Amino acid sequence: MKKRDWLLVIAPLVFTWLIDRVTKIWASGLVGYQDFGLMGFTLHHNHGAMLGLFSDIPPVLRIVSLSTGGAFLTFTYFIIQYLLPIKSIPLRAGLSMLLGGILGNVTDRIIWGYVVDFLVFRFDKFTSPAMNLADVLQWVGYFLIVYALIKEGKILWPEENSRKNYWVNRRFQLRYCFSLTALGLALSLISGVFSYTYFRVSLQSLPYTTSRIQEQYLGPYILTFIIISLAFSALLFFVGLILSHRAAGPVYAFENFLEDLIAGKYRKLKLRQGDEFPHLEEVADNLSLALKKRLGDHDLEDELDEISKLKAEVSLPTEEEAHANDHLEADSELNSQKIQESSDSKLEEE
């Protein structure tokens, strides 16, 4: 995509995050309930996720896991934006709005330890849970994503360009995937050892810290870290599969093209969108043109047939050579019989 397109993709993320921060700072000063008909404002501190989910789990596990989950989703967002094979501004903008809303709530959790909710909707006797603008914009992002998948699904997953098999070079791709996964696990191990040691030493340095308190804090931390590390490693393996396929796929296609060319089948090499080594298409075209030019008006299949006939003529003897070979074989057999008779007569005389 062009730079202008990337601005259209990133702008919803920044706008969603900024407008969410501004409205939450304003809502922090609300007192009581302010009614505006179908919509009302009231300050509510949400210690869980969206709409209060996970608010009943331990505080340390909740804050650390949800905040780190936001960072994990940010990484996933950029991976998806990179791997998407089509432009699709609605799809990419929807992902940006979704991530912007998530990061808005994550920012609250990092700064305040809770999320500021202040929007309440009323329809007759129904009253919605308290939410914020980030939650609303996330649903807008969901709508854009679903809309893009329905409208541009055939472009996103074209039948004529579908990937039948991602393992075109299993040995190379597995080595690539496991190398990328091992790198992720190594980074997770280093960061885990550092953060765990720092966290534990900090707890021990605090006054009135008992072993029970340490277990209460360190246990959820270890559990959360293991889950996030495994999820991150699985994501890296999946990303490695796609990236390695984009590298191994063109080589595999070019090898098939050469085999068809040797067999006398002229065709055009067409790589998939997003594949590496796109210059192979030009190389294949130049190779086909050069071969046609060298052969002239002769078709490659005819040329191969002539070569096969020539090999057959060279390997098969002529009629005169065949008769001569027959005479030689007959003379050889006659001489063998005479030698055998002579040896037998000598034995009888003795």
* Active-site annotation, residues: 117, 135
Distance of CA 123 to CAs 38, 120, 128, 172, 330, Å? 6, 10, 8, 59, 112
Candidates 268, 293, 290; CA nearest to 281 is 268
**Cα 242 to Cα 327: distance, rounded to the nearest angstrom:** 69
